[in-house]
Chain A
């Protein structure tokens, strides 16, 4: 879940 909140895509 935390990983999904990173939003590393543009």
Chain B
């Protein structure tokens, strides 16, 4: 359906925006390495089914490979910045202070409690859903502490939030046309959207009222 396609495309757009900008400008200003590392973990644990070779469609398989590849490439580019622009890298690391163990640990426990089947594949899949829902927190934490967001960060988070928002009408659509209600995805998806709404609210206020950028 249209919501699903548009959602996936904005997800793809968010990563392309990030990749292209970092590649072109060699700037990682305002980007959280921790959030990016969490996304690599999210994609690798979610798309483990690629290894079973029970592929659903060309679209599905290709997108999964692109998401894994692009997220790893982002990390590579950030690491390249380490040698190229040591000062900017150090500055980024000094501000990227969120403790990700407080996200990974609880997500692992939630995956053990909420899953469809107690198998490695299903546990990893559930873990990836929980982790994705909170993976942006180090990034938002960084923004709230610096009090300002660059164009790159803003566009990136905007595209990511759009992807999340579009998945909601997609689920409603699928519920009515296919009778499908996948509770884990819906719940973690709503949780993730709620986190983004905070960003959107502040962004809206900043754009409309021209006030300084701040997150509660």
Q: Do A and B bind each other?
A: yes
Interface residues of chain A, those whose CB is within 8 Å of chain B, are 1, 3-10
Which residues of B have CB within 8 Å of A3? 180
**DSSP class of A's interface residues: helix, strand, loop or mixed?**
loop
Partner of B60, one of A1, A4, A5, A10: A10
Find out whether the CB atom of B67 lies under 8 angstroms from the CB atom of A9. no
Find out whether the CB atom of A5 lies under 8 angstroms from the CB atom of B122. yes
Which residues of B have CB within 8 Å of A8? 56, 60
Which residues of A have CB within 8 Å of B204? none
User: Beyond A4-B116, A5-B116, A5-B122, is A10–B64 a contact (Cβ under 8 Å)?
Assistant: yes
Find out whether the CB atom of A5 lies under 8 angstroms from the CB atom of B56. no
8 Å CB interface, B154-212 against A: 167, 170, 180, 182, 185
Find out whether the CB atom of B8 lies under 8 angstroms from the CB atom of A4. no
**B24 at the A/B interface (Cβ < 8 Å)?**
no
Interface size on B, residues (CB 8 A): 19
**DSSP class of B's interface residues: helix, strand, loop or mixed?**
helix
Find out whether the CB atom of A10 lies under 8 angstroms from the CB atom of B63. yes
Find out whether the CB atom of B185 lies under 8 angstroms from the CB atom of A9. yes
Q: In the complex the two chains form, what is the Cα distance from A4 to B184 in whole Å?
A: 10
Which residues of A have CB within 8 Å of B49? 7
Which residues of A have CB within 8 Å of B182? 4, 9
How close is A3's CB to chain B, nearest CB, in angstroms?
Answer: 7
**B11 at the A/B interface (Cβ < 8 Å)?**
yes
Interface residues of chain B, those whose CB is within 8 Å of chain A, are 4, 8, 11, 46, 49, 56, 60, 63-64, 67, 116-117, 122, 125, 167, 170, 180, 182, 185
Q: In the complex the two chains form, what is the Cα distance from A6 to B60 in whole Å?
A: 12
User: Which of A3, A5, A9 gathers most chain B CB within 10 Å?
Assistant: A9
Which residues of B have CB within 8 Å of A5? 116-117, 122
User: Beyond A3-B180, A5-B122, is A10–B117 a contact (Cβ under 8 Å)?
Assistant: no
Find out whether the CB atom of A6 lies under 8 angstroms from the CB atom of B56. yes
Q: In the complex the two chains form, what is the Cα distance from A6 to B180 in whole Å?
A: 12
Which residues of B have CB within 8 Å of A6? 56
